[in-house]
Amino acid sequence: MTFPDKKFSDVGSYADAYFTKVKEAAASVDREKLQQAAAILAGVYRAGGMVYSCGNGGSAAIANHLVCDHCKLIRTDTQLSSRIYSLSATVELITAIGNDLSYDEIFVYQLRCLAKSGDALITISSSGDSENIVRAAVWARENGIPVIAMTGFSGGRSAALADVNLHVSADNYGVIEDVHQSLMHLLAQYIRQSQMDEALIRQRKF
């Protein structure tokens, strides 16, 4: 049974039910896998590698937002060189690849051009089964680039391909994307504070 499974008569009751689902979905994320994801990202940032992000639709917005928080936020008050590139933000290149080749190639084509050993890939897909996401993950794995997948629903092929699958147990796109956005934020904030003096943490806004 999916959410919603009935008609709601007022937005307040819908909000209460929705936020209950968000809370349940957030609790479903494996904390050990979150730690693994944080370790991968911190390692890449420490070594000066590049983290690539990608997603479609609302997930593209999260991939783009990730650049802001993981670049600017993590670099503030730390010695980490957080280098981020969203494969979803390059509209000129995306449309060229999609038009001339295939929409399924829009992310993997960019990875072939840019990625190298020491980098990492974050895929964001509620279904985990978007072909362009899967192709990017396959190429990354074949070329020794660790993959962190944010998934929902059944996890799809991305879940099986990922080195770390941050799976959200939910069946509503909005709920899943809300939690994916939170995972993006909390990974950035956790990594930043882990590199800061505790006294300085108390002086800063996150």
- The answer to whether the CB of 159 falls within 8 A of the CB of 180 is no
Is 122 among the domain residues? yes
Question: Percent of the chain beyond pLDDT 90?
Answer: 98
Is 21 inside a domain boundary? no
Given a cut of 90, is residue 166 above it in pLDDT?
yes
Give the full edge-to-edge strand order of the sheet including 147-151. 83-86, 50-55, 120-124, 147-151, 164-167
**pLDDT higher than threshold 90 for residue 174:** yes
Given pLDDT bands bounded at 50, 70 and 90, which one contains residue 123? very high
Residue 170, helix vs strand vs coil: coil
Residue 4 within any structural domain of the chain = no
Residue 75 lies in a domain: yes
Mean pLDDT for 44-50 is 96
Q: Which residues contact 164 (CB under 8 A, 6 or more apart)?
A: 33, 36, 37, 40, 146, 147, 148, 149
CATH code assigned at 107: 3.40.50.10490
Average of pLDDT values for 146-166?
Answer: 97
Is pLDDT at 1 greater than 90 in this prediction? no
Closest CA to 146 of 25, 24, 43: 43
Closest CA to 22 of 179, 181, 182: 179
- Looking at the domain assignment, is residue 3 inside a domain? no
Q: Where residue 154 falls among pLDDT bands split at 50, 70, 90?
A: very high
Is 6 inside a domain boundary?
A: no
Q: Is residue 59 part of a domain?
A: yes
pLDDT at 72: 94
Instruction: Quote the domain boundaries for residue 89.
Output: 31-203
pTM of the predicted model as reported, rounded to 2 decimal places: 0.95
Span 124-134, mean pLDDT?
A: 98
Q: Is the dihedral of CA 152, 64, 130, 117 positive or negative?
A: negative
Looking at the structure of the chain, the number of domains it has is 1
Q: What is the pLDDT of residue 82?
A: 93
Residue 141: pLDDT band (50, 70, 90) is very high
